Amino acid sequence: MSSAAVVDRVAVVIPAYNAARWLGETLDSVASQTVKVAEVIVVDDGSTDETAAIGKKHGANVISTPNRGLSRARNTGMEAATADWIALLDADDLWTPDKLEKQLAAAALAPDVQFVASDHYQFRDESGATFQESLLALRPDRYAAVNPQRLGPRLTRLTNMGIGLIALGQAFFPSTMLFRRELAHALGGFDVELRRCEDYEFLLRALTRTDILLCEESLMGYRVHPTSLSRNERAMALAHLQIAHRMTERPDRYAPGVLEAYRRPLRERLLYAATLSIRLNEMEEARTMLKAAGEIRRDPAWLGLSIATRLPPVAISTLHRLKQRIGARA
């Protein structure tokens, strides 16, 4: 496919909330694609800054709504799209110029596959410096374990990934995703009740209907912002617990065996997040996570944390310092 070739089959959907600081650069990365897209849809999710104006200035179709959250914003954009393919792009991420060209070329090799993803790199918001060149490079053993089928140089097909995705982890971030519009409609879009991990849950449902084509190149840049790690880990654990509840309530929406495979990493997330909650003296949150973890499996680690939620804060601090001293001497 030659540079600047026209492809009237891709709609780019960009959810944006108070993204004026980054949106112009993100839209420039769309305009720099070596294939011309059919539609660029920016869903302004109740922003109070210049997000909508910047989107319009760059020629995007801007849909302004009250603030309703990321999943609803994505769904609104996907419902408005008319092209055959939908490419998601978060308002602060960037594409390499050949991102869509390489993904569409991959799709042409396997017309039955409805979902194409890629590797990505990560860069710091403050400096723009890349600190991680490839997510797949951090997980070589896990990636090999899902038995990628080689279709070409740096291109694979991943099959039976319902359980495989759980072993691999969420390696396919939203801004790497290109999928058939009909697939998005069949799935009913993103789960609007999930505030985090909604992309992971969406993909788990998609994998009941399609394989994944994977470009093993980093075709997307993920912008990393300074955040509270402990708060993020706890929120993520609770979101994964919500997903487990979805699997229990609607097993028909997921591949066979997914819930059972999901339970082990879920328990580990819950125990880690409960530990963080205990250190912050947020015991009710810790008990909620430990109750769910104990329903999967109880062991001495679980018991120790459960006891800790009943201790006064001064006792917990003393035990934590003692553990640190013992660890330092070991």
DSSP 302-322: HHHHHHHTTS-HHHHHHHHHH
Q: Is the same domain home to 94 and 172?
A: yes
* Residues 6 or more apart in contact with residue 232 via CB below 8 angstroms: none
Q: Is the same domain home to 210 and 249?
A: no
User: What range does the domain containing 47 cover?
Assistant: 5-224
Q: Is the same domain home to 142 and 290?
A: no
DSSP notation for 102-139: HHHHHHHH-TT--EEEEEEEEEETTT--EEES-SGGG-
Q: Is the same domain home to 35 and 182?
A: yes
Q: Is the same domain home to 102 and 199?
A: yes
Count Cβ atoms within 10 A of the Cβ of residue 24 and give its class: 0-12 exposed, 13-18 middle, 19 or more buried. middle
| Distance, CA of 66 to CA of 81 (rounded, Å) | 20
Q: Is the same domain home to 248 and 281?
A: yes
Q: Is the same domain home to 163 and 18?
A: yes
Q: Is the same domain home to 195 and 300?
A: no
pLDDT the model gives residue 230: 46
Q: For 137-141, which contacts have Cβ atoms below 8 Å and span 24 or more sequence positions?
A: 139/168, 139/169, 139/171
Structure tokens at 37: 């897209």
Q: Is the same domain home to 211 and 260?
A: no
Domain boundary among 187, 205, 224: 224
DSSP 8-class letter at 184: H
Closest to 211 in 3D by CA, of 103, 100, 110, 75? 110
Domain boundary among 168, 194, 224: 224
pLDDT the model gives residue 131: 87
Q: Is the same domain home to 179 and 258?
A: no
| Distance, CA of 220 to CA of 93 (rounded, Å) | 7
Q: Side-chain half-sphere of 255: how many Cα atoms within 13 Å?
A: 21
Structure tokens at 288: 């909620």
pLDDT the model gives residue 316: 55
Q: Domain containing 33 — which CATH number?
A: 3.90.550.10
Count Cβ atoms within 10 A of the Cβ of residue 186 and give its class: 0-12 exposed, 13-18 middle, 19 or more buried. middle
* Residues 6 or more apart in contact with residue 241 via CB below 8 angstroms: 266, 270, 289, 292
pLDDT the model gives residue 313: 67
pLDDT the model gives residue 320: 58
45 touches 15 (CB < 8 A): yes
Quote the number of domains for the chain.
2
Spans in the chain with pLDDT lower than 70: 1-8, 227-231, 313-330
Q: Is the same domain home to 92 and 176?
A: yes
Domain boundary among 179, 209, 224: 224
pLDDT the model gives residue 318: 56
DSSP 8-class letter at 83: S
238 SS3 class: helix
Q: Is the same domain home to 277 and 311?
A: yes
Structure tokens at 11: 């709609």
Q: CA 311, 316, 318: angle at the middle one, nearest 5?
A: 130
